[in-house]
Amino acid sequence: MAAGHELHPLVLVPGLSGNQLEARLMEDYLPPLPALQAPQAAGWFRIWMDRSLFLDSAAQRCFAHQLSLFYDPDADDFRNVPGVDTRVPFFGSTEGLRFLDPDRKDSSICMDTLVKSLEEIGYQDSLNLFGAPYDFRYSLAGGGHPSKVATRYLQDLRELVEQASKMNGDKPVIILTHSYGGLLTLHLLNRNPSWWRRKFIKHFIALSAPWGGIVAEMFTFISGDTLGMPLVDPLTIREQFRRTESNLWLLPFPKTFGNRPLVVTRDRNYSATNMAEFLQAIGFQEGVKPYVSRILPLLEEMAAPGVPVTCIIGVGVDTPETFLYNGEGKFDEPPEVVSGDGDGLVNLASLLALESEWSDAPEQELKVIKIPNATHAGILTQEFAVTEIIRRVLDVNSVPA
């Protein structure tokens, strides 16, 4: 066990949906139907995650509407639905990412197991261990387009890293991310000068990062998601899912997946290179403009950051690679799923995308650790996976400055 004062400070950045969000409804909020007025009419309430918000179809529709974003073409940015205010609790602490629903304390989909393991080697919350939750509905944007919420988060994350270093004898910081948090952190590094990275970053450890997007995202855009709860109508949640900007960023990247058919119908194949046509075909025309103008340029911003990087990934788990729709109604019938290697959600090609992306940057230190049978969420809770993560954290701490 390492002594706390010898450890480099560590900042945890969760994945998409990996921390709590709160909301409040303002007087001008208009529910999707008047009869669906939500009971949380006053004050802040936890909207992610509170399972009581999914008890019936009316509650689910309210939830989906209140958590949705909309693209404002005049501002060229995404915003909350009018009348809905949101905030991220517990920034700087691990409190908001240990459990999504603290009333249930289900650690199977959150960071509690990992946090406890870090505490066992000497880390202490808000002393040398910090959490950086965020509003995961928002994405950064490329090509000079504004992204107010996500850009503000990167500023807050930078300040947290600097504060963590100052509180710990100016030691540089280890940033440990899960999934989508890895994408945001790579942009944090690349949007700050090299002197800042050298001064404040000891190591970047990315768990299960979807560097090249996720094929299964296309299926969820088509059919929605039950969020792992049997009573949830996936088509109700689909509208909120489509209107989450970050989900556009997680669609398969052209550079990673090329022209390979990912969704196949009787009359058309859809690959990562014709994603705009795919969005039109599934009836999500409003997603086309922001995808083309904001997301596609963002996908080119994957430069090597010049700090040591370790990717820890799960392999050997069946992961959807192609969805075959053979019915006459195109997307009406459940598809045949062709699977390949990955972590059950993120495809192996995406998990390994940095190896090819940085192949011409020999000065970039990149290590990839593959953990057989570790799943995308399970890497945070499976004992054999968490043991490997802790081993790497200790290894990084043992490397002289």
- Annotated active-site residue 223? The verdict is no
| Structural contact between residues 134 and 184, judged by C-beta atoms closer than 8 angstroms | yes
Burial of 359 (0-12, 13-18, 19+ CB in 10 A): exposed
Side by side, which strands form the sheet with 201-207? Answer: 129-131, 10-13, 173-178, 201-207, 309-315, 366-372
Q: How far apart are CA 13 and CA 21, in angstroms?
A: 15
Catalytic residue from among 68, 139, 179, 350: 179
CA 316 to chain centre: 22
| Structural contact between residues 369 and 392, judged by C-beta atoms closer than 8 angstroms | yes
Q: How far apart are CA 36 and CA 59, in angstroms?
A: 7
Give the 3-state secondary structure of residue 346: coil
Q: Which residue has the tokens 């020999």?
A: 362
Q: How many residues does the chain have?
A: 401
Count the Cβ atoms, other than its own, within 10 Å of residue 401.
Answer: 6
- Annotated active-site residue 203? The verdict is no
- Annotated active-site residue 376? The verdict is yes
State yes or no: cis peptide before 49, omega within 30 of 0.
yes
CA 304 to chain centre: 20
The dihedral of CA 330, 334, 338, 339: what is its sign? Answer: positive
Tell me the C-alpha to C-alpha distance, in Å, between residue 71 and each of 28, 139, 181, 359.
19, 12, 22, 36
Q: Which amino acid is at 150?
A: A
Q: What is the number of H-type helices and E-type strands within the chain? A: 16, 15
Catalytic residue from among 17, 271, 343, 350: 343
Q: Which of 194, 189, 205 is closest to 12 using CA atoms?
A: 205
Burial 154-182 (b: 16+ CB within 10 A, else e): beebbebbeebbeebeebbbbbbbbbbbb
Q: Which residues are catalytic?
A: 179, 343, 376
